[in-house]
A and B are shown apart, each in its own frame.
Chain A
Amino acid sequence: MLAKPRLQDLLDALGQRGFRVLGPTVADGAVLWDEVRRLSDFPVGRREQQQPGRYRLEPGIDGEIFGVVNGPGSLKPAFFAPDEPLLEIERERKGFRVREVVPAPTRLAFVGVRACDLAALAIQDRIFLHDCFRDTHYAARREHALLIAVNCTRSAATCFCTSMGTGPEAKHGHDVALTELDDVFVATAASAAGETLLAALHLPPASDEIIRAAHERLDACARAMRRHLDTAELPRLLYEELENPRWDDVARRCLACGNCTMVCPTCFCHTVVDVTEIQGKVSQRVRRWDSCFSLEHAHTHGKNFRPHVRDRYRQWLTHKLASWIDQFGTSGCVGCGRCLTWCPVGIDLTEELGAIQADRRQRGRQ
């Protein structure tokens, strides 16, 4: 059991161990990951309202530290950097010399990681660490990260983690899990590093009553989740619906801005460009996030394979919910709801898939 003010001790302990401690902080009317030193750096006493195309911070419950479920930023940019040099290539009299740009070793600790984002991180690990090739830039930051999860005791209206089997309770990949009650946290270690960390704080054990209360809040959160996504028959269902008219319908609303792919905690598309300094002596191979919504994404010389917004939205959703399963043995969606909230026109993938499923049932009856 961790009395709320003692969360400060946890932050201090992480700092003493050489971690840069990041947590949810308020910036630009939303919650973003940034450095946290004091409890007041967290969005204490705030909650947020999320709807497709809408995000507002509001007054919440006094003293509640993790009242805001999430913001546009996931853990993704901390490990898979939005823009980073991979190689530095120095021109020589004959040819050039190639040097790997090794990221500076960083020890990042995240306090307040939600179950959906832990699941997303496991998916990114699968892609960048455990596929055919190991991405050394991702690995350099990921290896030393410490993750303090916060189990969700409330969900946003855009959340559907229960459908994706990822939350509201942290299951894998974290070091410590916290469940916030009115005056205390229930703290559970989930790794050796987590155990060492908690042991150093000399915490009193939580009473059965407190533990029961924590479980009840998690159950209540799961029960209260209103948004659902039916994953039955995926991936096959979407493969068979490539010509469904709903793709044209959503394409009329979609701006192809790519916001959904930027806020998505699992989207991994990127490009690699050459950035040459002005004297032309040194060029960097720079990796940058890319989006399957951009017109360039499927462009080869002389042909664009996905010229229409319909093609690109279909690619995104079919990849996320269907082909991802074939590629990596897991769905690409964790149910965090960010793509709904941060879509400027409020496109809701649960609704889009639902419409395709309804259309299929309708055809099945005919």
Chain B
Amino acid sequence: MTPYFLHGARIVTRRTEAEGIYTFVLQFTDPAVRQAYRFAPGQFNMIYSYGVGEVPISIVSDPAEPALVEHTIRTAGRGTSAVTRWKPGDILGVRGPYGRGWPMEAARGRDVIIITGGLGCAPVVGVINYIFRRRDEYGALHILHGVKTPSDLLYRERFDLWRRQPRTSVYLTADHPDKSWQYRTGVVTNLFDELTPNPAAIVMMCGPEIMMHYAIRTLRAKGISEDSIYLSMERHMKCAIGLCGHCQFGPRFVCKDGPVFNYTAVKPWFGVSGV
């Protein structure tokens, strides 16, 4: 069978997270596909909508419950603009899961620092939920999140919820705050004034590359080793199986070698313009 084959999946529920951001719970219509399906945090599916095309979307639900697959999608390009019309009962095409996810084994027993920027950042939501469900297995959890303006801070309640979890701290900052903003001002790296990371901590990041670039610099200065830093990359993808060539980043294919990379695997190309 062609690796491009799509399996039907029914939308079970739809939840609006914020304007233009929706979470869909999907269930494969074929019981055999449903039973065989397994995934890891940080992996993604290709999601097809009839007559429109496919988009790579990361999985945010827990791998312990693979029968229901949850995706948070922000309407952005052509592929995702159809999302607003999706409703419970609709059938989508799904193939996956693809890629390498977050290093949940390597993180076990260590402090975890999560750094994100911009809107949404679904790839790390799965990790955060994963850790909360296995709270004893991980050390302190620090969530650092930077936005351009306060209106970019989606799911404010979710950050409040996370903040109340055991051994968890949440740090927020905005480049351009308004009067209502009660958190820090400036770029995400400024947040390290408040946080002295354990040098043995593991770091997971996603967001704009420029943000990750500066975050890595700060982390290194704080004594975190390069091989303790993981990041989720985003590139144009058509196949998700390492064949279409679009997602290349240096010698890496973001779809099959990533989307989560150890920093050392992408370091020579990271921050080089036009790669």
Contact = CB atoms under 8 A, between A and B. Distances in A.
Interface of A: 86-87, 89, 91, 94-96, 98, 100, 127-128, 131-137, 235, 239, 242-243, 268-274, 276, 280, 283, 285, 287, 290, 292, 296-302, 305-308, 310-311, 314-315, 319, 322-323, 326-327
Interface residues of B, number: 45
B243 A297 contact: no
A290 B29 contact: no
Nearest to B75: A301
B51 A276 contact: yes
Contacts of B269: 242
B52 A274 contact: yes
Nearest to B241: A133
Given A91-B50, A297-B236, A327-B253, 7 more contacts: A89-B50, A96-B8, A98-B8, A136-B2, A300-B236, A302-B77, A307-B274
B243 A94 contact: no
Contacts of A91: 50
Given A137-B2, A269-B244, A305 B274 contact: yes
Contacts of B251: 235, 322-323, 326-327
Contacts of B80: 301
A308 B245 contact: no
B226 interface: no
B241 A132 contact: yes
Nearest to A247: B274
Contacts of B53: 272-274
A239 B268 contact: yes
Given A89-B93, A98-B5, A310 B236 contact: no
B122 interface: no
Contact of B248 (A235, A271, A323): A323
14 contacts: A86-B2, A86-B4, A89-B50, A91-B50, A94-B91, A98-B6, A100-B2, A131-B243, A135-B2, A235-B251, A270-B244, A285-B48, A300-B234, A307-B274
A311 B238 contact: no
A94 B275 contact: no
Interface string B1-25: 1111111101000000000000000
| Nearest 8 interchain pairs by C-beta | A95-B91, A311-B274, A269-B245, A323-B251, A326-B251, A301-B77, A301-B76, A133-B3
A271 B4 contact: no
Given A87-B5, A98-B6, A305 B275 contact: yes
Contacts of A302: 76-77
Nearest to B10: A95
Contact of B51 (A270, A280, A311): A280
Nearest to B9: A95
A299 B236 contact: yes
A132 B3 CA distance: 10
Given A96-B50, A137-B2, A242 B243 contact: no
Nearest to B5: A100
Q: Which of B4, B77, B241 has the most CB of A within 10 A?
A: B4
Q: Which of B1, B54, B246 has the most CB of A within 10 A?
A: B246
A298 B235 contact: yes
Interface in B228-252: 234-236, 238-239, 241-246, 248, 250-251
A249 to B, nearest CB: 15
